[in-house]
């Protein structure tokens, strides 16, 4: 019922609702609209195949693909080398998967260790995430980061291009995923049906052209 109620203009004074209850009501509506919980990081061993097929597709117009899926491999070199892998996705707008990686997977770098990190991400980072990556790399010289992306995000924007260049000068390797990289993600990060032979990766028809398209754009930017 609540949703049908038209919002009537209320006689507000000093921007306060004329009764507190109405203020609460509006707050509830707003919360409802923004979908709770505000944020959760979904981490898992492997992501469902349907997500992979949709989100990682390197199409030029990525409508509906507004989530970032980030598969990571972290190789930590000290006395012994340890490799860990997993994936993250950003559930809601509060933090993106790239930020979540630094907040939860690698909150601090031990200066006595070396970290070789590879991300396979459905699309390149937004400006804010790119800046955070640049800062993190400048601060931690023992961190090597390679980011393999399926698509370039808002690459026409001058601000975005500048952010990507900064990442590069901070030592980040940015690459467009080739068909072989998609296959690698498919084999290593995507759920395979229980008890079935692992299904072979089936490339979509324009995978190679799209890779070339984005690779040219990236080369122009960097």
Active-site residues, by number, are: 98
DSSP state of 204: -
Strands 81-90 and 69-77: antiparallel
DSSP-derived letter for residue 202 is -
Pairing of β 81-90 and β 41-44: antiparallel
* Order of strands, sheet of 81-90, starting from the edge strand that comes earlier in the sequence: 41-44, 81-90, 69-77, 114-123, 143-151, 173-176
Residue 197 is classified by DSSP as P
């Amino acid at each position: 019922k609540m949703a049908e109620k038209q919002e009537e203009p209320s006689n507000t004074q000093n921007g306060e609702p004329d009764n507190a209850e109405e203020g609460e009501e509006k707050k509830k509506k707003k919360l409802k609209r923004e979908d709770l919980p505000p944020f959760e990081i979904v981490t898992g061993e492997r992501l469902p195949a349907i997500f992979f097929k949709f989100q990682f597709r390197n199409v030029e117009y990525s409508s509906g693909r507004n989530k970032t899926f980030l598969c990571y491999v972290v190789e930590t070199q000290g006395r012994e080398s340890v490799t860990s892998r997993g994936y993250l996705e950003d559930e809601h707008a509060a933090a993106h998967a790239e930020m979540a990686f630094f907040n939860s997977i690698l909150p601090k770098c031990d200066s006595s260790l070396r970290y070789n990190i590879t991300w396979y991400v459905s699309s390149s980072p937004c400006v804010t995430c790119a800046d955070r990556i640049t800062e993190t790399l400048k601060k931690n010289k023992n961190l090597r980061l390679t980011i393999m992306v399926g698509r370039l995000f808002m690459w026409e924007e001058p601000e975005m291009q500048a952010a990507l260049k900064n990442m590069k000068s901070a030592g980040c390797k940015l690459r467009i995923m080739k068909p072989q990289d998609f296959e690698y993600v498919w084999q290593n990060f995507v759920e395979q049906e229980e008890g079935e032979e692992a299904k072979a990766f089936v490339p979509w028809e324009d995978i190679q052209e799209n890779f070339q398209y984005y690779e040219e754009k990236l080369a122009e930017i960097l």
